[in-house]
């Protein structure tokens, strides 16, 4: 039998469609990294797809969740960390570098100032070779000039 009734998102609707026991079922606990990754996949923002400003922002958020913010639950495998670092160095940073627009209008920037500050701090502390890299230098210079010129 095909189920045609769907829950409308409220508790009353869920108990009406799925029965009283639906409210007692506990779903699997997910870490913030898992929830963010599932959202990226649902919005088709993976790093192997053509990059956009939204997908770069989603990747940077995932990178910060995995590497910087502690307490996100399960530790990832070593290969996952290597793939994230490789995607950052080989795809994300060159994409940002190639799309720098020397304007004060933030909607034309490839990443926000807040994302830059978080990533720059992490790179300076933990990945100094990437921080001194030829692609990251102009990005750092651009955002330092933006900070100087904003009142």
What pLDDT does 29 receive?
A: 67
Band (pLDDT 50/70/90 cuts) for residue 58 is confident
Mean pLDDT of 104-132: 90
Band (pLDDT 50/70/90 cuts) for residue 1 is very low
Tell me the three-class secondary structure of 79-148, residue by residue.
HHHHHHHHHHHHHHHHHHHHCCCCCCCHHHCCCCHHHHHHHHHHHHHHCHHHHCCCCHHHHHHHHHHHHH
Model pTM above 0.85: no
Q: What percent of the chain has pLDDT over 70?
A: 73
The residue among 151 and 2 whose pLDDT is bigger is: 151
pLDDT in tens, 30-54: 667 777 777 877 877 776 678 888 8
pLDDT of 26 above 90: no
pLDDT in tens, 66-78: 776 656 545 667 7
Distances from the Cα of 71 to the Cα of 49, 60, 68, 122, 150, angstroms: 29, 18, 10, 17, 34
């Amino acid at each position: 039998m095909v189920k045609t009734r769907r829950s409308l998102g409220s508790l009353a609707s869920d108990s009406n469609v799925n029965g009283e026991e639906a409210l007692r079922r506990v779903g699997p606990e997910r870490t913030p990294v898992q929830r963010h990754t599932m959202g990226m996949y649902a919005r088709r923002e993976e790093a192997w797809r053509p990059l956009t400003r939204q997908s770069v922002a989603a990747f940077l958020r995932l990178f910060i969740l995995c590497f910087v913010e502690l307490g996100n639950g399960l530790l990832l495998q070593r290969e996952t960390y290597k793939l994230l670092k490789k995607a950052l160095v080989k795809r994300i940073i060159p994409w940002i570098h190639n799309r720098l627009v020397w304007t004060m209008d933030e909607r034309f920037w490839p990443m926000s100032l807040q994302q830059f500050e978080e990533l720059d701090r992490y790179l300076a502390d933990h990945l100094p070779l990437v921080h001194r890299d030829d692609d990251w230098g102009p990005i750092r210079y651009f955002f330092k000039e933006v900070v100087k010129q904003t009142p």
